[in-house]
Structure 1
Amino acid sequence: MLGPRPLAVPSLFFLLSSGYIPSSKISRPLNQRRFLIYRADRVGDVVLTLPVVGLIRNTFPGAEITFFLRSYTRELVAEYPGVSGVILADRNGRVRPFDDLLLDVRQGGFDAAVHVFPRPAQAWLSYRAKIPVRVGTAFRWYSWLYNRWVWDHRKTGDLHEAVYNIRLLRKLGVSVPDSVRPSLPVPAAYRQAALNTARRLGILENDRVVALHPGSGGSARDWDPSQFSQLSRELSAKGFRPVITGAQEERQLVEQVVAGSNGSAVAAAGAFSLMELAAFLQSCSVVVSNSTGPMHIAAAVGTPLVGLFPPIAAASARRWGPLGDRTMTFTPDAAKCPLCKGGDCQSNVCMRQITVTEVLGAVETLTSR
């Protein structure tokens, strides 16, 4: 019986055919001016990748940096300082033909590709486009398609996702700090659009708005909707204006939370584009959210934040927590969960251990600072 294929050690043939140069032979990359950053992933992942832009440009001041993204995240980087362009992985939600993508990548004339979110098709894309420097993980079966490997196991969750992202840049000769904090500037046009939408929703400029984000798109375990409803009632009683945010496809969840709020909350499912949401969250007094993209947007625009995390290493606050000056996080104890009993997380039941009283107290603490 054949054993499992080794994933981390590319063959000599593949090393030679891919133009591999041992990283130990390279003190600093030469003639690197155009960089392609692969992050065809979700909102929070893109936000946590933004710091690579400034770090690359610190080492290569004239760098042209292009992001390879899913179309729905484009708005996050389209006007981001230091980003020169975007290549979209999909068209209207459908993956673009490989040959179309290859043409775009070849036309970019990239000197280096950084595969922050590794996928075999994208690794093959960089290889076929003959990008000279291809940085990626060493632990995938297709890692031979890269020629500079990073030996980090993200699944252990020992470091924050943003730190894992920037550590890839060391293979380009970029100086990388031990920690990093994403920042998301919001152009004036989005701030005005968000203000107009808030007015249509009946939200006044002097309201003490607390945004509650009850969904996660399946990226984490979620706090119970009934607890969000109760929190909304408690916040309203203390003079805050709860606004329940969510994507268009989360409308039912948002309306469920609003229905349980006894009229205290405003429903805002699908009300904002991504950058309009950034502008709206920036105007809020506090954001309370499950571990998901809008949580990272809120942290990146500097809004005080309460994050709710499951007791799972790969989805923990240590790896995915909000990076900001005024943040608080809560994680239940898996050992006290009747389903998990200290083992692997089985459902959202664990999250009910986080009490409304605790979260309300965190909101009051953050708003008193």
Structure 2
Amino acid sequence: MNWQGCKNILCIRPDNMGDLIMSGPAIRALKKSFGARITLLTSIMAKGITLMMPEIDEVMVYDVPWVKTAEIEDTKAFYDVIADIKNKNFDAAVVFTVYSQNPQPTAMLAYLAGVPQILAYCRENPYQLINNWVPDKEPYELIKHQVKRDLDLVAAVGAYIDDDNLSLDVDNDLWPAISNRISKLGVDLAKPWLLIHPGVSESKREYPFELWVEAGKRLVNDGYQLIVTGAASEKQFAEHLADGIGTGCYSAAGLFPLNEFVCLVKHSPLLVSVNTGTIHIAAAVGTPVVVLYAQTNPQHTPWKVPHVVLPFAVPVQMRSRNEVIGYVDRKLYDRPVPMPNAGDISNAVTHLLNPQDLPVQPSPGIPDENPGIAAS
């Protein structure tokens, strides 16, 4: 697997924004190790964040039909993207996946386009489809953090990097206008404040509304002003939550485009969020984060940033039908976990902002920056 001559590389990460952010260090390793031009093929959901990832030179957008996306493409688009890949004459392609995904449909795009070197994890022998094959031992022998998984994949072809932190380019010149907008909501930035982010892409990751209200009231009572963030589509929910929490809580959902939102997260003292892409933005800009962590993907905790994970169980009827995920559910999540309460969240915030006041034990069964955990 000698890739030193690969100067035009296609990286394929057809998932959501948080997944792409976690692949950032591996993509950076490819670029720096081989002096390569990097083209990324990703989903429309992840496209926006690519503008803040300088390791990416060009972006292709295609929502593949085997990954959950907002749009369903027709078969013509499938052949069009293959033709586009072929026209770009790539030396190699790298397929990034989570352990529960089959890489072969994605690899087929590069294979049909005639890309000579294709790298991916695969559980079974893909033969010529993936001619740079790394046998996938997850999750049956171990579970790695997603960042480590991706870095180990590119290391198989000689791509390494010294700095494996997540990274996003933030335009700090946006902060004065952002802070002015926040102040107009009623927030006094000279006093303690933090962000809470309740929105999720999957209902099984939701933290109950009434518990958000209890936690918000507790944090306000602790002396913090709260800013509820979210997309424009979550504006009504955020306003409802802010009203439920009452004085000291302000809704900012829909007020900030992605580049401004990333800047807001960077300048925030702390973020309280469900496990969604926002926690990976926080990790990439160095903001401490408390994660209300639905037990879905254990390998997607915040990477190398101060954090506390507060796990909670996903109801049986909402769990994935994917058998690989089912295996992890049975092996790793076999014991009921109570829903985190207002006190748990308050203690976690205190621990991160005032660590001398209250030590918090790390949550069991959740990978961090360590290489992996046993899954059986």
TM-score of Structure 1 vs Structure 2, range by shorter chain: 0.7 to 0.9
1:53 and 2:27 matched = yes
1:358 and 2:344 matched = yes
- Please show how residues 211-230 of structure 1 align to structure 2 within 5 Å: 211-218=195-202, 221-230=205-214
Displacement of 1:64 in angstroms is: 0.6
Question: Structure 1's 145 and 270: CA in aligned 2 closer, same or farther, altered over 3 A?
Answer: farther
Displacement of 1:116 in angstroms is: 0.2
The answer to whether the Cα contact below 8 Å between 2:30 and 2:154 also exists between their aligned partners in 1 is: yes
Question: Equivalent residue for 2:149?
Answer: 164
Displacement of 1:286 in angstroms is: 0.8
TM-score (structure 2 length as normaliser): 0.77
Question: Equivalent residue for 1:71?
Answer: 44
1:262-300, CA deviations, whole angstroms, 9 ceiling, x for partnerless residues? 243211223222232211111111101111110111111
Question: Equivalent residue for 2:73?
Answer: 95
Task: State percent identity of aligned pairs.
Answer: 25
Q: Secondary structure at the match of 1:104?
A: helix
1:32 and 2:6 matched = yes
- Please show how residues 150-299 of structure 1 align to structure 2 within 5 Å: 150-156=134-140, 158-175=143-160, 180-188=164-172, 190-191=174-175, 194-195=178-179, 197-218=181-202, 221-299=205-283
Instruction: Name which of structure 1's ranges 285-294 and 141-150 shifts more when overlaid on structure 2.
Output: 141-150
The answer to whether the Cα contact below 8 Å between 1:123 and 1:142 also exists between their aligned partners in 2 is: no
Q: Distance in 2 between matches of 1:332 and 1:125?
A: 37
Paired residue type of 1:167: D
The answer to whether the Cα contact below 8 Å between 2:126 and 2:133 also exists between their aligned partners in 1 is: no
The answer to whether the Cα contact below 8 Å between 1:170 and 1:176 also exists between their aligned partners in 2 is: no
Q: Distance in 2 between matches of 1:207 and 1:155?
A: 45
Q: Distance in 2 between matches of 1:176 and 1:108?
A: 26
Question: Equivalent residue for 1:328?
Answer: 308
Unaligned runs of 5+ in 2: 65-69, 320-328, 356-376
The answer to whether the Cα contact below 8 Å between 2:170 and 2:263 also exists between their aligned partners in 1 is: yes
Paired residue type of 2:259: M
Q: Distance in 2 between matches of 1:111 and 1:249?
A: 41
Q: Distance in 1 between matches of 2:151 and 2:103?
A: 18
Q: Distance in 1 between matches of 2:288 and 2:135?
A: 34
Q: Distance in 2 between matches of 1:39 and 1:285?
A: 31
Question: Equivalent residue for 1:367?
Answer: 353
1:302 and 2:286 matched = yes
The answer to whether the Cα contact below 8 Å between 1:116 and 1:136 also exists between their aligned partners in 2 is: yes
Q: Secondary structure at the match of 1:231?
A: helix
Q: Secondary structure at the match of 1:276?
A: helix
Alpha-carbon RMSD across the aligned residues, in angstroms, is 3.3
- Please show how residues 79-90 of structure 1 align to structure 2 within 5 Å: 79-90=52-63
Instruction: Name which of structure 1's ranges 187-196 and 247-256 shifts more when overlaid on structure 2.
Output: 187-196
1:50-93, CA deviations, whole angstroms, 9 ceiling, x for partnerless residues? 11132123311x21111111123222122422221111115994
Unaligned runs of 5+ in 1: 1-25
Q: Secondary structure at the match of 1:229?
A: helix
Question: Structure 1's 219 and 37: CA in aligned 2 closer, same or farther, altered over 3 A?
Answer: farther
Displacement of 1:201 in angstroms is: 3.6
Q: Distance in 2 between matches of 1:270 and 1:116?
A: 31
Q: Distance in 2 between matches of 1:112 and 1:192?
A: 43
The answer to whether the Cα contact below 8 Å between 1:221 and 1:351 also exists between their aligned partners in 2 is: no
The answer to whether the Cα contact below 8 Å between 2:228 and 2:251 also exists between their aligned partners in 1 is: yes
Displacement of 1:222 in angstroms is: 3.0
TM-score (structure 1 length as normaliser): 0.78
- Bigger-Rg structure (1/2): 1
1:289-343, CA deviations, whole angstroms, 9 ceiling, x for partnerless residues? 1111101111111011111223x4x522xx1111133211122489xx9x99xx8
Q: Distance in 1 between matches of 2:287 and 2:242?
A: 23
